[in-house]
Amino acid sequence: MANAASGMAVHDDCKLKFLELKAKRTYRFIVYKIEEQQKQVVVEKLGEPGQSHDDFAASLPVDECRYAIFDFDFVTAENCQKSKIFFVAWSPDTARVRSKMIYASSKDRFKRELDGIQVELQATDPTEMDLDIFKSRAN
Amino acid sequence: MTLAETYACIPSTERGRGILISGDSKSDTILYTNARSVVILDLNNPLKVSIYGEHAYPATVARYSPNGEWIASGDVSGTVRIWGARDDHVLKKEFKVLAGRIDDLQWSDDGMRIVASGDGKGKSLVRAFMWDSGSNVGEFDGHSRRVLSCAIKPTRPFRIVTCGEDFLVNFYEGPPFKFKLSSREHSNFVNCVRYSPDGSKFITVSSDKKGIIYDGKTCEKLGQLSSEDGHKGSIYAVSWSPDGKEVLTVSADKSAKIWEISDSGNGTLKITLTCPGSSGGVDDMLVGCLWQNDHIVTVSLGGTISIFSASDLEKSPFQFSGHMKNISSLSVLRGNSDYILSGSYDGLICKWMMGRGFCGKLQRKQNSQIKCFAAHEVEIITSGFDNTISRISYQDGQVTNEESVGVGNQPNDLSLAPLSPGLLLVTFESGVVFLRGEKVVSTINLGFTVTALAVTPDGTEAIVGGQDGKLRLYSVNGDSLNEEAVLEKHRGAISVIRYSPDLSMFASADLNREAVVWDRASREMKLKNMLYHSARINCLAWSPNSTMVATGSLDTCVIVYEVDKPASTRMTIKGAHLGGVYGLGFADDTHVVSSGEDACIRVWSLTT
């Protein structure tokens, strides 16, 4: 299953957890990490539906890259409750260049594995992942 | 966050040239330009100002359409923009009219045609076009040099008159407008031409100190402004009274004159107006004028706007002024009455009061440029580009004493310790200079490139920020510094450091658009992730109760954070100042004052 420009495989669990989030709404967010030794993308953290955007922001490390899926609930202008699935490529300025390179080159392949992402977001510092940004991208 | 007050910039003026201001009699507002902004000022309430900043090049002239709905403004690139006069100033159309700068612009009385004149190459010195389609309505040859002014006869049959640097006054009939005749009565630049409101006459004024009146339909010379008691300097602008019987002229001889125009076309002097409070220098030369309703407005070279009352000419005019260039620093002085002091880089320091607006300019011995500025109660310290620090003592709004101290290097930041009397720390590229009173007591070379500085009011602790982004804390011992700690967090050169008023915290900001609030005792970060700006942070201010920090940046935004809440719960003011925010202060716990590149000062209210 090693099949990317950077040679990273995607662990089956990643796709399974994502499908669970999409169909049954069992998680608020999923954080994925690339394990360099095993050359795989694995699930690092899962967020309960009750958790919020702040918990999500807190679960991302300050100086390491990650991929994340966030299920964002909002109310539209016509007063309907909607939700969109965001893919966040977390790549902080303070991370090592090697880390950023690996995550950047594997991102496309990884995204293709997860069918149903509605919005993609790249964040290089906490302000770019702010709730306001989510709200503006949701519309 | 709402805008409470705006202290507008003043019209940009140039020595040797007049400026053309215009207005709308229905709403009683006047229009003038400063750099890229077009300012709409309400004459009855000068604190009510609306600014249009959409020009890509410095704007030169702006004019209301006859129905008061649209404003057409021209800039130095030859572009004319037509936009809505109200609310959001929506753009209607933009035309590239001339190849060079536009010096004058006029609407025809039916609001359908616009004539623009200015600089260009060969043919395109004057152009008249339909306001909505831009199609030409005439050919305008006859001028060989810059056309300084143009006017359209307000009544039928339509005529256009243009005048310029080639000393000629040209007359065109139409539409479609064609050259009819040319008049060479003046012996110097013809600065301004204006039709009377009924279209029967027009008057041209020139740098040869003469004003000549012509018949509006045939362009025959009728008469001229009488030369006894005439102006003794170039006449820069002219304006008719609303009833068409009198004209107002302003001149480089620092006076404005009102003339009565008889039906035969001769002008006799009625009264001479001079502006009180003039210092007698070049700045008092009057360069622009407008007669609107009951208001007679004159603009001086130094940017002072004087509003006289036409019905009561003996009354002293209402005068106000402001800054013409980037206001690089701002300080709020608290005392008996709260003053806001603003310093612009051209050396002008102005005083403002909330609710009143302009309170006065500070008269200084020499107006050297200002790069850094600090003010406290009775003292103002400035530094410029000449390696000296000026200490100005200030009492009741007047400068009482001004001393200049050489520091041997170009200062790039300074900080005052008012409680340790006379102590001033100034940084230059590689170190710090200690000043007590007017003497340099020591110069310490710190070994790294210094970019910012803050010292506690009692003068015991100082923080120096470097180009490498590190903050170094020093304790002050007499005249030397002992390094206590080095704090690393910033990823860009430090631009500003400030202690909180209660001295428990300090905040620092860098060129990488990040700000951090630190706890002073523990030297730990108290509030971080203040990364919401998109360009370098220029200035930083604490609220008097030490609960809020405001940062102003080159990206024109001002962001206010509350120290006890996470950085994401910030309040942002977008587009506070066109070109960047350079000065920031808290007038009180609910009002933020900001100043910027657009030479305006704005007061924002934090309570919604």
pLDDT score recorded for residue A1: 40
Q: How many helices (H) and strands (E) does chain A have?
A: 4, 6
User: pLDDT of B97-141, one tens digit each?
Assistant: 888 899 999 999 888 999 999 988 766 789 999 998 888 888 888
The ipTM of this complex is: 0.74
User: pLDDT of A71-94, one tens digit each?
Assistant: 988 888 888 888 889 999 999 988
Model confidence band, residue B419 (pLDDT cutoffs 50, 70, 90)? confident
Lowest mean pLDDT among B149-163, B296-310, B418-432, B471-485: B418-432
Annotate B539-570 with b (16+ C-beta within 10 A) or e (fewer).
bbbbbeebebbbbbbbbbbbbbbebeeebbeb
Among B510, B527, B529, most A C-beta atoms within 10 A, so best to mutate, is B529
Model confidence band, residue A2 (pLDDT cutoffs 50, 70, 90)? very low
Range A57-61, long-range pairs (CB < 8 A, 24+ positions) = A57/A126, A57/A129, A59/A29, A59/A31, A60/A31, A60/A90, A60/A129
Instruction: Please state, in angstroms and rounded to a whole number, the distance separating the CA atoms of residues B47 and B457.
Output: 34
Instruction: Please state, in angstroms and rounded to a whole number, the distance separating the CA atoms of residues B189 and B336.
Output: 51
pLDDT score recorded for residue B122: 67
Q: Which residues of A touch B535 (CB under 8 A)?
A: none
Q: Which residues of B touch A53 (CB under 8 A)?
A: none
pLDDT score recorded for residue B278: 64
Instruction: Please state, in angstroms and rounded to a whole number, the distance separating the CA atoms of residues B603 and B591.
Output: 7
Q: Is B185 left (phi over 0), alpha (psi -120 to 50) or beta?
A: alpha
pLDDT score recorded for residue B538: 92
Model confidence band, residue B46 (pLDDT cutoffs 50, 70, 90)? confident
Instruction: Please state, in angstroms and rounded to a whole number, the distance separating the CA atoms of residues B79 and B72.
Output: 10
Q: In Å, how far is A125's CA from the nearest CA of chain B?
A: 8
The sign of the dihedral angle between the CA atoms of B516, B521, B524, B527 is: negative
Among B491, B531, B570, most A C-beta atoms within 10 A, so best to mutate, is B531
Residue pair B402/B380 in contact by the 8 Å Cβ criterion: no
Q: If DSSP codes are grouped into helix, strand and coil, which group holds residue B304?
A: coil
pLDDT score recorded for residue B399: 73
How far lies A19's CA from each of A66, A121, B76, B382, in Å?
19, 20, 60, 65
User: pLDDT of B350-399, one tens digit each?
Assistant: 888 888 888 888 777 777 788 888 888 778 888 888 888 888 887 766 77
User: pLDDT of B80-94, one tens digit each?
Assistant: 999 998 888 899 999
Residues of B with CB under 8 A from a CB of A: 491, 529, 531-532, 566-568
User: CB contact, 8 Å: A130 with chain B?
Assistant: yes
Among A94, A127, A135, most B C-beta atoms within 10 A, so best to mutate, is A127
**Cβ neighbours for A52, distance < 8 A, ≥ 6 positions apart:** A28
Q: Do A126 and B531 touch (CB under 8 A)?
A: yes
Opening angle at CA B342, ends B350 and B85, nearest 5 = 85
